[in-house]
Amino acid sequence: MPRVVLAMSGGVDSSIAAHLLLEQGHDVTGVFMDHGQTSPARGTATCPADQELGRSAAAASRDAQLVADQLGIPLDVIDFRAEFQQIIDYFVSEYTSGRTPNPCIVCNQRIKFGKLFDYADRIGAAFVATGHYARIGCGADGTPSLRRGIDVRKDQSYALFGIRRELLPRILFPIGEYKKPQIRALATDLKLRVADQRDSQEICFINNDDYIAFIAALRPPGDASGEMITTDGTLVGRHDGIEGFTIGQRKGLGIALGQPRYVVRIEADSRRVVLGTRHELARAWLTASGANWHRDPSVLPGTCLAQIRYMAPAVQARITVLPDQRFRIDFDRPQIGIAPGQAVVCYAGDQVLGGGWID
């Protein structure tokens, strides 16, 4: 039987992934990745995390162990606190630089499909599996390809673009062929204690989803306040720190201007937040760096479907590959809320071509 290392969070998705792998005849070893943090109590769909709302890492570990015991598989708890600290440092640095980070993508790239592969190699496992809603398919050239999950409302392929393509043949996504109600029904039939566990869509290392207070406690000391101006230079208010804002934001600006205004630019050096109209927010193109392509860039199609946020629809666009792992996306129609620091992911139908970080 092929040996599989499965990332188990104690949530319903990874628990059913374990069950499905066993049904398929795999020798499953569960791994709980201990980051030492407390998961949040509520959130804003920043990124999908397979953890119950409001649980500590210790409670999540206990749930994972109970599920592993019920299914009859071993569970190893691995200390990833140092690796998670690097992600926290990235998160704080990006926000205090006027960018909008996506820690889930970085975690997937560096830990779940990075360090976890190192562990799999040490124990002789052929595959690494997770409870992500995504699929591994077959590309036109016969090589494995990353594809959207069947459940379009839960699809997590956007957050997986950073996986190195040479790893795709060793990755399994057991629940990618299912929709969420089917996963819950399976958990109920199996009488898993996590069957009714609520989904979490928050940043797993931040309590109560208060990321502004989290950053304020970790950023360099000193005055972080600055001006809020309109695009014509009019001073309309002040703020306590640029980490409280992201491109495209309309709510929570703390000022009333009589008509809707959006964050159209964040100037990190001067700590200015620039507000404008929805029309001023629209952008026809973007550039991105840190490209990770799942095809050779020389054979990429000239057009694609480009997705600029986790919950955003993918829209028609054109790709131009640039030197130094950079590329340009030109949209058929201008897009609203293109935020530096977020990822842009390119698709051909439901297949991930690759992506990069918006500059």
The set of residues, in sequence order, having a beta carbon less than 8 Å from that of 191 and lying 6+ positions away, is none
pLDDT digits (tens, 9 = 90+) for 44-85: 333 444 333 345 677 888 889 999 999 999 999 999 999 999
Provide the annotated active-site residues.
107, 204
Asked if residue 294 is part of any domain, the answer here is yes
Task: Give yes or no: residues 42 and 162 share one domain.
Answer: yes
| Residue range(s) defining the domain that contains residue 320 | 282-358
Q: Name the residue with higher pLDDT: 185 or 143.
A: 185
pLDDT digits (tens, 9 = 90+) for 99-140: 999 999 999 999 999 999 999 999 999 999 999 999 999 876
* Two structure tokens written together for 53: 């709302």
Give yes or no for residue 176 having a pLDDT over 60: yes
Give yes or no for residue 167 having a pLDDT over 50: yes
Task: Give yes or no: residues 307 and 260 share one domain.
Answer: no
- pLDDT confidence of residue 60: 83
Asked if residue 216 is part of any domain, the answer here is no
Task: Give yes or no: residues 177 and 58 share one domain.
Answer: yes
Task: Give yes or no: residues 275 and 291 share one domain.
Answer: no
Task: Give yes or no: residues 229 and 201 share one domain.
Answer: no
- pLDDT confidence of residue 52: 37
pLDDT digits (tens, 9 = 90+) for 315-333: 999 999 999 999 999 999 9
Number of domains in the chain: 3
- pLDDT confidence of residue 203: 75
Task: Give yes or no: residues 137 and 237 share one domain.
Answer: no
Task: Give yes or no: residues 137 and 286 share one domain.
Answer: no
Asked if residue 215 is part of any domain, the answer here is no
